[in-house]
Structure 1
Amino acid sequence: MKFRRAALVGATLLSSLAAAAPGVDPLSADIDARDALRFARLMQNGAVPAAEVLQRDYLDGAGPGVKIFTPNRIGDAQRLARVVAAKPENYRYAIRECLPQLPALRGDLRAIYLAFAGLLPERPLPAIHVVFGASSSGGTANAEAQVIGLEITCLPGTTREQFRTTMRSFFAHETVHTWQADRTPQELADPLLSETLREGVADYLASLVTGEIPDLERDAWARQREAWLWQEFQRDRQAMLEDSASLRKPMASPRFRRWIANYSSPPEGWPSEAGYWVGMRIAEAYVARASDKHAAIRELIALRDPDAILKASGYGL
């Protein structure tokens, strides 16, 4: 009887968790590449599609992925046409070499989602869409889905193994972004620390569920100069906190762009988006010091008070 009651309690718990997380089932998760395939057809036989073709046959009637990617990543048909015309080989390479590899990544996606389901069973897992964008972003997410831009994750020369590693990282990283809420007043008051933690927490959780450190080259560069890097970060953060213009429009601040949102234009001698790495290290330190590590991970995702997270982490002390 005791065993039966325990089994019933366990079944009830599992049912409640399933009800609380109505997202994608990790056992049947798949990669929706229908938008990417529609784009690929427009470049058959060496074609470089004009804006009107992209509008009619790609943006009009777009699937969820392109709809999510259009406002801040694609822009409009004219912008997309200019980028494709300027970099046609980037798109052709991704179409030829990486688009056919997506079905083979289904197992990686499901393994990552199963890991997330074990770590955070109450969190819904998002649908995944692969699209072609305007070479401005490798991925984005909203509360229901994550979207990956194939022309960024599969640049010319990308090997099969490199592509797999990159996509695994995106599957995990962008999933975390689907769980992060709108920015709190505390975040808006400290934009550099806030954005660094948002991205760093996503990279930290990605490292947990994939067993791989995101961007090994950046990691090797940063670990060699961690103390100096932290001093530079603190200096830029403090300068932004004392500058009302930087707080109003952080994306316009060169101090902010030194760490975040510089994928194609990092500081000379730096890897791109070093802020991701700093945020990951703070997140690691925060969880390491926590007595309840599961609760700490949930606090990192909620990120209600970035400065309190930093202080509790002990990072840099």
Structure 2
Amino acid sequence: MGIKRVLRWATCLLALCVVGCMSAAPRPTEAMRIQVVDADVALFWQVYDAVGAMDDRQQQLDYLQTHYLDAGTPGLTAFAEAKGYTAADYVDAIRAYPAYWDSVRPRTALAKDVLDRVEAHLPRFPEVYPRLRPATVYFEVGALRSAGTTREDKVLIGVEMATGDEGVDTRQMPAGLQRFFDGYFASRPLDNLDLLVVHELVHTQQRGERGSLLAQALYEGVADFVARQVTGRLPDLDYVRYGPAHDKEVKAAFVRDMHTNDYSGWLYNSIDNPFGTRDLGYYIGYAICAAYYAGAEDKQAAIAGMIELDYADAVAVERFVAASGYLDEGDAATPPARP
């Protein structure tokens, strides 16, 4: 059985429901609902045990497909589609890294403890952005490709990554993958999981495919900035510390690349840059938003403008960035204040 928690305040209700099925979509006159669904986590470990008792790979594939991918919630279907997961991805990872799965298993149960922190943030979200649309957060077990992503109105959290720490055994992984996971787990992602959920909830409110590094960095920076307004903090990650301390150099390098569609060196854990720091594109996007917000008289309208920007409209993106003044040549030595 799931746990249902309900929060009430003057004009808006956000219900945080840990259930195995979807509720009907609210009518416009109904209270806002944010749901969190974690049923697929327990389902995965049941299937994992069954698959582990089988020797034949084809039998494992058939069982995992039927009893996990086909039997899961709409969130699992969306996660598989978003990340291209197949039964083979799961079975091959299970067979190749049993020490990883056995050591991360008890960690995935800790995701439910984050719900109290998420619940505490939710009343603030509609205060920051009153036009918040309904969304559902799904806790899933993926096949090592994503700690968090979105698909339409669904936030999809990969708990096999998002709950790890230094105690997770990565020694059976290839050297490159092991380095990535060891570095990632050293950042204690579970400590930031509530922030990740809110960050991804912001993405469910945004629109427009991004056609440049600038648009993509702004898209991610908006999610970080709004998440900070909701939660009061930023994640304890290297780019949050490194960016303000090296703003001038980072900004100059970004300006040279920003009109390309090459994200390497700037986003999604790449350290292929002169700074040796991952995800500095998030910092640049956040800094643009911080400058825009600081100069806005109507703060709530500024937040709405960030979220509702059409990121596919290159002219609109450029106009927003110009209005922030952050990338102006004469402002290169003035980083935004660190929270």
Q: Where on the TM-score scale, by shorter chain, does this alignment land: which range?
A: 0.7 to 0.9
* Number of equivalent positions: 280
1:157 and 2:166 aligned: yes
1:83 and 2:93 aligned: yes
CA distance in 2, matches of 1:113, 1:177: 15
Q: Which residue of 2 aligns with 1:117?
A: 126
Q: Which residue of 1 aligns with 2:302?
A: 296
SS of alignment partner, residue 78 of structure 2:
helix
* Contact 1:74–1:133 (Cα < 8 Å) also in 2: no
Q: Which residue of 2 aligns with 1:3?
A: none
1:57 maps to which of 64, 67, 70: 67
1:72 and 2:82 aligned: yes
- Show the 5 A alignment for 1:1-317: 14=11, 20=28, 25=33, 29=35, 31-44=36-49, 47=52, 50-97=60-107, 99-157=108-166, 162-183=188-209, 187-188=210-211, 191-238=212-259, 240=260, 250=261, 253=262, 256-261=263-268, 263=269, 265-267=270-272, 270-304=276-310, 305-316=316-327, 317=331
Q: Higher strand share goes to which structure? A: 2
Q: Deviations over 1:162-184 (max 9, x none)?
A: 4542211111100000001123x
Q: Deviations over 1:46-99 (max 9, x none)?
A: 9387322321221112211111111231421112222333333333333212x3
Closer/same/farther in 2, CA of residues 21 and 95 from structure 1, 3 Å limit = farther
Deviates more, 1:58-67 or 1:211-220: 211-220
Q: Deviations over 1:280-305 (max 9, x none)?
A: 11111111111111111111112231
CA distance in 2, matches of 1:138, 1:181: 21
Query: Aligned-residue CA RMSD in angstroms?
Result: 2.9
CA distance in 1, matches of 2:86, 2:294: 45
Displacement of 1:234:
0.5
Q: Higher helix share goes to which structure? A: 1
Q: Which amino acid aligns with 2:133?
A: P
CA distance in 2, matches of 1:260, 1:162: 19
CA distance in 1, matches of 2:103, 2:240: 27
CA distance in 1, matches of 2:92, 2:146: 16
Q: Which runs of 5+ in 1 are unaligned?
A: 1-12, 241-249
The one of the two structures with greater contact order (alpha-carbon pairs below 8 A, sep at least 6) is 1
* Contact 1:35–1:66 (Cα < 8 Å) also in 2: yes
CA distance in 2, matches of 1:33, 1:315: 40
Deviates more, 1:266-275 or 1:40-49: 40-49
Q: Which runs of 5+ in 2 are unaligned?
A: 1-9, 13-25, 55-59, 168-184, 311-315, 332-339
* Contact 1:112–1:171 (Cα < 8 Å) also in 2: no
Deviates more, 1:172-181 or 1:299-308: 299-308
Displacement of 1:136:
1.1
Closer/same/farther in 2, CA of residues 52 and 215 from structure 1, 3 Å limit = farther
* Contact 2:40–2:139 (Cα < 8 Å) also in 1: yes
Displacement of 1:148:
0.1
Q: Which amino acid aligns with 2:305?
A: E
CA distance in 2, matches of 1:142, 1:21: 25
How many percent identity over aligned positions? 25
Q: TM-score, normalised by structure 2?
A: 0.74
Displacement of 1:45:
8.8
* Contact 1:32–1:130 (Cα < 8 Å) also in 2: yes
Q: Which amino acid aligns with 2:160?
A: E
